Amino acid sequence: MIARFRNLSLQIKMTAISLIVNLFVFSINIVLLAGINIMSGRIDNVYKENMRLNELSVSLGNVQDAMTEYLNAKTSDSLEEYYRSAQVYSDQAEALSSEVTGSLPDRMEYAIRNMSSEYLSEVSETIEAKRGRNVEKYRSHYEEATKLYSYINTYIYSLNNEQFKENSENYREMISAFKTFETSGNMILIAVIIVNVLLIIRLTANLIRPLKLLAGKADEVGKGNFDVEPLTVESEDEVGVVTRAFNQMVVSIQNYIRQVRENAETERQMKEKELLMEAHLKDAQLKYLQSQINPHFLFNTLNAGAQLAMLEGADRTSEYVRVMAEFFRYNVKKGFQTVTVGEELELVDNYIYILNVRFSGDIIFEKDVDSSLLDVKMPSMILQPLVENCVNHGIRDMLGEGRIKLSVYPMDDYACIRIEDNGIGMSEDTIQKLLNGQQPDPDKKESNGIGMDNVIARLKLFSESDDVFDISSEGEGKGTKFTIYLKKGGDN
Amino acid sequence: MKRKGKALNSIVIMITTAVIIALTGALVVNFISYSRRFGSAEVKVPYGHYYAMITDNSDSSFWQSVYAAARTTAGEHGDYVEMISENLSRDYSKYELMEIAIASGVDGIIVSADESEQMTELINDAASRGIGVVTLYSDNTSSDRLSFVGISNNDLGKLYGELILRLASERVYTTDTIEAVILVDAGSVSTGQNVVLSAVQEAIDGESEETRALHPPIEISTYTVDPTNEYSAEESIKGLLLRERSTLPEIVVCLGELDTVAVYQMVVDYNEVGLVDILGYYDSEVILNGIDRGVIYATISADTSQMGVSSIDALTEYFDYGYTNQYSTAGISIITKDREDLQEGGAP
């Protein structure tokens, strides 16, 4: 029932409330009006008796008049009139009380009734005597009748008075009852009004509560808090529909906001990456330019030196100078482009050759390369700095034979490049610093200028992954291993 | 908080609705009871016999006292007695009231009659219609009345005579004679009053020689009062008391309550207290007051309630057994300032 009411439309609900309230007032009014009606009916009744007596008096007068008229004129009309009025009066007198009771009006009616029959018989005898032309007789009967007529009139008058007195008393009583009734009626109506107001407050509160909730939520949303709980739909009326739509709207807004936020985040990340990459490049380039004093000049002069050595027949010198020129040219030519593993390996070979000439073959360089992986892409200037690092930090200051091993092998989807030395090794602390992109020893100068941090950072940027590079060392004097994991098909 | 408000709201609604229902209910119940009360103002129990009581001056406390006793007695028998003149807006004479009572179809009439022929005819007419007539206080001996209820006029006269003698011996009279005037009703020279007069005279005459010598001789005379209404009585009495002081009667004897009151009032008004001694009749409050103030020397009271009871008893007996006592007398007594009562006469 209540649930069904809830699902009605607002208009019907409002109508229902006003109907209930009005019906309540109406029914109370009906009761009050019925009371007032009955009371006014009683007031009418009060004077009914008086009216009846007045009629009786008039009828009595008619009989007397008709008799007198007949006695005077002796017309058949007056006789007829006499019969008629006597019948009317007789009927009316018959209706009077025939019992002697404690009520004075009853006793007086009883007297009137008896006197009336006495009177009517006297009148009838008078008429008879008149018709029989018995003057003596009709005169005496007439006198008797007239006397009775006056007695009856007095009785009627007195009774009328008596009843009027009594009725006035009743009337007063009734008026006071009426007043009481009116006062109570008013009190009841006031109470009804109070109940009605409370009822309306109660019922409309039920109607408006969802609206208020909705308004509150809307206000919250309006202030920017989109993270609101959805409202429960209590009814299927207009408010229910609006509530549902509101809930839907809030959810949509929430989704939209999430999407916008995600987009912004992605964009920000991309921008950040780009900026970082650029910064590193700039950094590397700067360092490179600082370290390579005009590589073109160096390359050209070295090439000239190589040709000179060839002309003089110094083949080994010529070879050495050519490799050196090659080495520098790589730097100049490739710069910081994406290169293949093969190209990088070539640079490492050149570097080792130069070093071996310089340090008269102290460094033993071993290569174990899976030639299928030579075309894997990677950033330039990665392997040579690593090998240089091995030479500078790993094996330069050690006693005995320095050994560097470079291996390229596949592992799952990755092409792994491992460079290991048998040098002094690295402490765990240093490894962690390097992997986190910090310069473990900022004072140390690199011969080639490109630091480990730069290498690692560029690798990470290239592969968009943190797991592209690994350093391991089994401790002091046990060498260091650098491993690079490159995606085989990856060509970012 | 909100829930609390809502609960409060509900409670208020419930209470107010209950109040409304209670009020409406009370109103309806009240209204119904009012209607009932109004609908049947009196319990209508029919009475057995309906008697009419007819007297002169029915308003006087004497007759009212008789009437009250009669009513009570009639009520005990399931009958109803009515002083019919009371309910009428016009004043009717006893004779007219008799006619009305006869025509009204009453079962019995209690009338304070007189010895007039008219009264006799009316009583006989009533009797011929089967209406029982009891004469009260004053009789109509020649009629067909069932019974007479009254006081012994002989005893009454004797008591008045006694009171006159007492006055004559108590007072110091400087006049040649002690004039005692007895007020009698005009027209109806009732045998009752004649009996009273002769009884008074008898009592005076019976005074012993020794005491008779101590006061001037007592002269009894009558003065006629028109009893038709209060004013006529007063007018008549005015003629008696508005005289030269020397010619004023020494003693005025009143045989009725109204006469007593009228004389008492006039004596006070004309400043004749102490000049005229009043011997009154009946013990109404006004008369007793007059006695206390010393204006009325003494009054003779009849046992009014016994008269009322006896008259109804006579009618009841008649209707029950077909006959009743012809006479019954009520007791009389003297009331003076000392309330010293002298009982005389009594029940039949």
> pLDDT for A418-452, tens place per residue?
998 888 888 888 888 888 777 666 555 444 456 77
Whole-number pLDDT of residue B43: 57
Confidence band of A338 (pLDDT split at 50, 70, 90): confident
- Say yes or no for a CB contact (<8 Å) between B34 and A177: yes
Q: Tens digits of per-residue pLDDT, A385-412?
A: 888 888 877 777 776 778 889 999 998 8
- Tell me the pairing of strands A377-379 and A338-340: antiparallel
**Whether B256 and B161 share a structural domain:** yes
Q: What DSSP letter does each residue of A122-142 carry, written as one string?
A: HHHHHHHHHHTT-HHHHHHHH
User: Is B176 or A1 the better-scoring residue by pLDDT?
Assistant: B176
Q: Which residue has the tokens 């004075």?
A: A104
Return the percentage of chain B with pLDDT > 70, whole number: 88
- For the ranges A42-51, A201-210, A257-266, A338-347, the one whose mean pLDDT is highest: A257-266
Q: Tens digits of per-residue pLDDT, B107-128?
A: 999 999 888 899 999 999 999 9
- The percent helix, strand, coil of chain A (3-state, each to 5) is 70, 10, 20
DSSP letter, residue B327: E
Whole-number pLDDT of residue A364: 85
Q: Which of B162, B166, B200, B195 is nearest to B181 (CA)?
A: B200
Query: Cβ(A253)–Cβ(A260) under 8 Å?
Result: no
Cα gap A12→A238, rounded to integer Å? 11
Cα gap A14→A145, rounded to integer Å? 78
Q: Tens digits of per-residue pLDDT, B56-65?
A: 888 888 899 9
Whole-number pLDDT of residue A74: 83
- Say yes or no for a CB contact (<8 Å) between B46 and A161: no
Whole-number pLDDT of residue B46: 85
Whole-number pLDDT of residue A377: 86
Confidence band of B90 (pLDDT split at 50, 70, 90): confident
- Say yes or no for a CB contact (<8 Å) between A191 and B19: yes
List Cα–Cα distances, B157 to B153, B196, B260, in angstroms.
6, 4, 16
At A406 the three-state DSSP class reads strand
Asked if the model's pLDDT at residue B235 lies above 50, the reply is yes
Q: Looking at beta carbons, which residues of chain B come within 8 Å of A199?
A: 13
DSSP letter, residue A368: E
Cα gap B273→B267, rounded to integer Å? 6
**Whether B250 and B125 share a structural domain:** no
Sign (positive/negative) of CA torsion A274, A275, A276, A279? positive
> Within a domain: residue A257?
no
Type of residue found at A32: L
Cα gap A269→A264, rounded to integer Å? 9
* C-alpha torsion A96→A99→A104→A107, nearest 10: 70
Q: Is A336 on the interface with B (CB under 8 A)?
A: no
Q: Looking at beta carbons, which residues of chain A come within 8 Å of B35?
A: 38, 42
**Whether B269 and B283 share a structural domain:** yes
**Whether A70 and A138 share a structural domain:** yes
**Whether A277 and A184 share a structural domain:** no
Of A256-260, A279-283, B208-212, B318-322, the one with minimum mean pLDDT is A279-283
Q: Is A191 on the interface with B (CB under 8 A)?
A: yes
Cα gap A71→A126, rounded to integer Å? 9
Whole-number pLDDT of residue A492: 42
CA angle B322, B325, B329 (to 5 degrees): 150
- Say yes or no for a CB contact (<8 Å) between A195 and B16: yes
**Whether B229 and B107 share a structural domain:** no
**Whether A209 and A278 share a structural domain:** no
- Say yes or no for a CB contact (<8 Å) between A147 and B99: yes
A244: left (phi over 0), alpha (psi -120 to 50) or beta: alpha
Cα gap A294→A415, rounded to integer Å? 35
Return the percentage of chain A with pLDDT > 90, whole number: 19
- Say yes or no for a CB contact (<8 Å) between A188 and B27: yes
Q: Which residue has the tokens 């006989």?
A: B124
| Tally of domains in chain B | 3
**Whether B181 and B294 share a structural domain:** yes
Q: Looking at beta carbons, which residues of chain A come within 8 Å of B9?
A: 198, 201-202
Sign (positive/negative) of CA torsion A419, A420, A425, A427? positive
A vs B: CB pairs below 8 A? 118
- Tell me the pairing of strands B50-54 and B108-111: parallel
Domain that holds residue A371: 273-487
| CATH number of the domain to which B257 belongs | 3.40.50.2300
Helix (H) or strand (E) holding B167: helix B153-170
**Whether B293 and B227 share a structural domain:** yes
User: Is B337 or A439 the better-scoring residue by pLDDT?
Assistant: B337
Query: Cβ(A259)–Cβ(A226) under 8 Å?
Result: no
Query: Cβ(B84)–Cβ(B70) under 8 Å?
Result: no
**Whether B158 and B260 share a structural domain:** yes
Query: Cβ(A316)–Cβ(A332) under 8 Å?
Result: no
Q: Which site among A155, A165, A178 would you substitute to test the B interface, given the most B Cβ atoms closer than 10 Å to its Cβ?
A: A155
Asked if the model's pLDDT at residue B6 lies above 70, the reply is no
**Whether B40 and B169 share a structural domain:** no
Nearest to B88 among A100, A110, A154 (CB): A154
Asked if the model's pLDDT at residue B54 lies above 90, the reply is yes
Whole-number pLDDT of residue B268: 92
CB atoms within 10 A of CB B62: 25
- Say yes or no for a CB contact (<8 Å) between A201 and B9: yes
Helix (H) or strand (E) holding A232: none
Query: Cβ(B119)–Cβ(B296) under 8 Å?
Result: no
**Whether A350 and A454 share a structural domain:** yes
> Within a domain: residue A251?
no
Strand partners, B221: B181
A41 CB contacts (<8 Å, ≥6 apart)? none
Nearest to A198 among B12, B50, B87 (CB): B12
The stretch A155-163 carries a mean pLDDT of 88
User: Is B228 or B272 the better-scoring residue by pLDDT?
Assistant: B272
CB atoms within 10 A of CB A64: 22
Q: Kindly report the nearest CA distance between residue A466 and chain B, in angstroms.
A: 59
**Whether A284 and A185 share a structural domain:** no
Report residue A84 as tokens. 């008629």
The stretch B37-52 carries a mean pLDDT of 72
Asked if the model's pLDDT at residue A218 lies above 90, the reply is no
Q: Is A178 on the interface with B (CB under 8 A)?
A: no
Q: Is A103 on the interface with B (CB under 8 A)?
A: yes
The stretch A1-19 carries a mean pLDDT of 75
Confidence band of B348 (pLDDT split at 50, 70, 90): very low
The stretch B180-186 carries a mean pLDDT of 86
**Whether A282 and A202 share a structural domain:** no
Q: What is the ipTM of this complex?
A: 0.77
**Whether B143 and B263 share a structural domain:** no
| Tally of domains in chain A | 2
Whole-number pLDDT of residue B110: 95
A146 CB contacts (<8 Å, ≥6 apart)? A64
User: Is A403 or A148 the better-scoring residue by pLDDT?
Assistant: A148
**Whether B88 and B39 share a structural domain:** no
Sign (positive/negative) of CA torsion A22, A25, A27, A30? negative
> Within a domain: residue A359?
yes
Chain B positions touching chain A (beta carbons under 8 Å): 6, 9-10, 12-13, 16-17, 19-20, 23-24, 26-28, 30-31, 34-35, 38, 41-47, 50, 80, 82, 84, 87-90, 92, 96, 99-100, 103-106
Cα gap B96→A115, rounded to integer Å? 13
Q: Is A433 on the interface with B (CB under 8 A)?
A: no
Whole-number pLDDT of residue B103: 93
**Whether B4 and B56 share a structural domain:** no
Q: Which among A194, A213, A232 is the end of a domain?
A: A213
Contacts 24+ apart (CB under 8 A), B293-296: B294/B337, B295/B264, B295/B267, B295/B268, B296/B260, B296/B264
**Whether A286 and A179 share a structural domain:** no
Nearest to B50 among A100, A174, A180 (CB): A100
**Whether A184 and A313 share a structural domain:** no
**Whether A70 and A151 share a structural domain:** yes
> Within a domain: residue A242?
no
Q: Which residue has the tokens 């560097």?
A: A404
Asked if the model's pLDDT at residue B51 lies above 70, the reply is yes
Q: Which of A153, A193, A167, A141 is nearest to A29 (CA)?
A: A193
B108 CB contacts (<8 Å, ≥6 apart)? B49, B50, B51, B52, B131, B132, B133, B134, B315, B318, B319
Q: Looking at beta carbons, which residues of chain A come within 8 Å of B50?
A: 100, 107, 110
Mean pLDDT computed over every residue of chain A: 83
Q: Which among A213, A242, A259 is the end of a domain?
A: A213
Q: Looking at beta carbons, which residues of chain A come within 8 Å of B44?
A: 99, 101-103, 106
> Within a domain: residue A79?
yes
**Whether A84 and A197 share a structural domain:** yes
DSSP letter, residue B248: S
DSSP letter, residue B34: H
Strand partners, B182: B222, B253
The stretch B241-266 carries a mean pLDDT of 89
Q: Looking at beta carbons, which residues of chain A come within 8 Å of B90?
A: 154, 158
Whole-number pLDDT of residue B346: 44
pTM over 0.80: no
**Whether A277 and A209 share a structural domain:** no
Q: Tens digits of per-residue pLDDT, A24-45?
A: 778 877 877 887 787 777 777 7
Q: Which among A213, A229, A259 is the end of a domain?
A: A213
Strand partners, A191: none
Report residue B250 as tokens. 């020494």
| CATH number of the domain to which A173 belongs | 1.20.1420
- Say yes or no for a CB contact (<8 Å) between A195 and B104: no
Domain that holds residue B327: 50-151+304-331
**Whether A290 and A192 share a structural domain:** no
Q: Which residue has the tokens 């990456």?
A: A273
Q: Which of B136, B108, B132, B128 is nearest to B49 (CA)?
A: B108
Residue A39 main-chain phi, psi, to 5 deg = -65, -45
Q: Tens digits of per-residue pLDDT, A243-291?
A: 888 888 888 988 998 999 999 999 999 999 888 888 888 877 777 666 6
| CATH number of the domain to which A390 belongs | 3.30.565.10
Residues 194..223 of A with a Cβ closer than 8 Å to B: which?
A: 194-195, 198-199, 201-202, 205
Confidence band of A91 (pLDDT split at 50, 70, 90): very high
Asked if the model's pLDDT at residue A114 lies above 90, the reply is yes
> Within a domain: residue A240?
no
**Whether B181 and B123 share a structural domain:** no
Whole-number pLDDT of residue A336: 60
Cα gap B52→A184, rounded to integer Å? 48
Name the H helices within B105-187. 117-128, 153-170
Report residue B43 as tokens. 């319990």
Cα gap B189→A474, rounded to integer Å? 174
- Say yes or no for a CB contact (<8 Å) between B31 and A148: no
Asked if the model's pLDDT at residue A479 lies above 80, the reply is yes
Mean pLDDT computed over every residue of chain B: 85
